[in-house]
Amino acid sequence: MLALDIAAGAVDMQGKTILPLDFTMARNEAVREDSYRAAAAAIKAELSVGRDVAMVNLGDVSVYATAYYILERIRDDGFETVMCPGVTSFCAVAARLGRSLTRMDEPLHILSGSTDLNNALALPGTKVVMKSGKAIHETAEALKRHGLLANAGMVADCGLETEQVYTDLRQLPEEISYFATIVAD
């Protein structure tokens, strides 16, 4: 519950009820859907008895956030929802690397590390590959094939005590955190 640990450093949690929710990052869509449904049901049970619920997540709820899948289900059942913006991890990563994400009229492409990157890496402009930790070596190979490896940087666990910064993606550890974000142009 990393998001909760971070929030607890900024908000007094005394007197607050914590509703632990489990999310799977399984590739199997049916398994993910089951975890989303279970989380939404737990939240709707609280809302149905008149309680307010706040759900914290890492980064921004509008960018590759599991929290949004839960919000959709709650909203679809007629409950009012509000999204509060967060700091997107890719902006924090770019700042940590000392890089700009955009230049004049060049586009910015935000990509999931779990997608086929071949076509996306051929696009003009800056590419951000989020949550690339599970397939980091495959991602590095794809960057190399597209001539982007030499000018790519990565931060894993940006802003956390376990943060790791890599300015040379040719020298990567065997395993890296799921929360690894690459910036390449």
pLDDT tens, position by position, 71-128: 999 999 999 999 988 878 899 999 999 999 998 889 999 998 877 888 999 999 999 9
Q: Are residues 71 and 94 in the same domain?
A: no
CA dist list (Å): 26 to 33, 75, 114, 134, 135: 10, 24, 11, 12, 14
State how many domains the chain has: 2
Give me the helices (H) in the chain, please.
2-8, 29-48, 66-76, 89-97, 118-121, 136-145
Q: What is the pLDDT of residue 155?
A: 96
Whether residue 25 is contained in a domain is answered as: yes
Q: Does position 133 have pLDDT exceeding 90, yes or no?
A: no
Whether residue 81 is contained in a domain is answered as: no
Q: Is 178 exposed, middle or buried (0-12, 13-18, 19+ CB in 10 A)?
A: middle
| 3 state SS of 142 | helix
Highest-confidence range of 28-32, 43-47, 127-131, by mean pLDDT? 43-47
Q: Are residues 43 and 121 in the same domain?
A: no
Domain span at 154 = 89-184
Residue after which a domain boundary falls, among 52, 76, 100: 76
